[in-house]
Amino acid sequence: MSRSEIPAQPFPLSVDFARTALVIIDMQRDFLEPGGFGAALGNDVSLLVAAVAPCQAILAGAREARMLVIHTREGHRPDLSDAPPAKVLRGDPKKRIGAAGPMGRILIRGEAGHDIVPALAPLAEEPVIDKPGKGAFYQTDLDLMLRNRGIETLLVTGVTTEVCVHTTVREANDRGYRCLVLGDACASYFPEFHEVGLRMIAAQGGIFGWVSTTGEVLAALS
Ligand code: C5J
């Protein structure tokens, strides 16, 4: 496929979909479901659920276009050997990483809450990056996979905008990838952080990347 011009902030981005990957960040049950850890902390998970339908739409478009699709999950080994004490020893001990949560141990691989929500379940051939940090490049093989596939542009979606989406976009930008963040397919428990997070990405001539919507990308794919 030839290059497509995607309307975006701060200016349109020319994209070669054959060299583009969709990255869906941390759409995990514990962050999104009413019975999950995020809800137990008092967050309004409906703010995050709003990103599910746009993620489904861009996921369907990416699969149809045979784009590389990558899913990420934030979490740790059951023995916490990959969890820095500085990350674990924070806040209420009953709500720390590894503690018993409503859907199993909090942020522990293999627990129900660590799974991706069923609406966005990965296909067998779609890589799932299990990441111990906020950024998807930290201590993972994501960069290697992208380089092996000649990927130059990332369509970035998921939660939360100002934490794991932002960290991943900053990491990707420093590694030379062009990140097109699909604002409607990202979300935060804090609407103002979502709003400002998107503005920060596109500010100063696109200091970390570009911001667009699922509709604009799907229109370019059709
Ligand atoms: C993510 C978090 N995924 N907010 N994690 O953003 O701790």
- For ligand 1, is residue 160 a contact (CB within 6 Å)? yes
- Summarised one tens digit per residue, pLDDT across range 29-87 is 999 999 888 998 899 999 999 999 999 999 999 999 999 999 999 999 999 999 999 99
pLDDT, tens digit (0-9, with 9 covering 90-100), for 73-128: 999 999 999 999 999 998 889 889 999 999 999 999 999 999 999 999 999 999 99
Q: Catalytic: which of 55, 164, 179, 186?
A: 164
95 is catalytic: no
ipTM score for this prediction: 0.94
Ligand 1 contact, 159 CB (< 6 A): yes
Query: Got the DSSP string for 140-208?
Result: SSHHHHHHHTT--EEEEEEE-IIIIIHHHHHHHHHTT-EEEEEEEEEE-SSHHHHHHHHHHHHHHHHSS
Amino acid identity at 199: R
Global pTM? 0.97
How many other CB atoms are found less than 10 A from the CB of residue 149?
Answer: 14
Distance from residue 134's CA to the centre of ligand 1 (Å) = 6
Give the model's pLDDT for residue 2.
73
- Considering the candidates 55, 115, 131, 134, report the single residue annotated as catalytic: 131
Instruction: Supply the residue whose CA is at minimum distance from atom 5 of ligand 1.
Output: 164
Place of tokens 């995020």: 38
CA of 20 relative to ligand 1 center, distance in Å: 24
Enclosing H/E stretch for 112: none
Query: What pLDDT does residue 16 have?
Result: 97
Annotated active-site residue 26? The verdict is yes
Nearest partner of 157 among 56, 37, 75, judged by Cα: 56
* CA–CA separation, 60 and 62 (whole Å): 6
How far is ligand 1, taken at its centre, from the CA of residue 73, in Å? 10
For residues 64 and 44, give the distance between their C-alpha atoms in angstroms, rounded to a whole number.
33
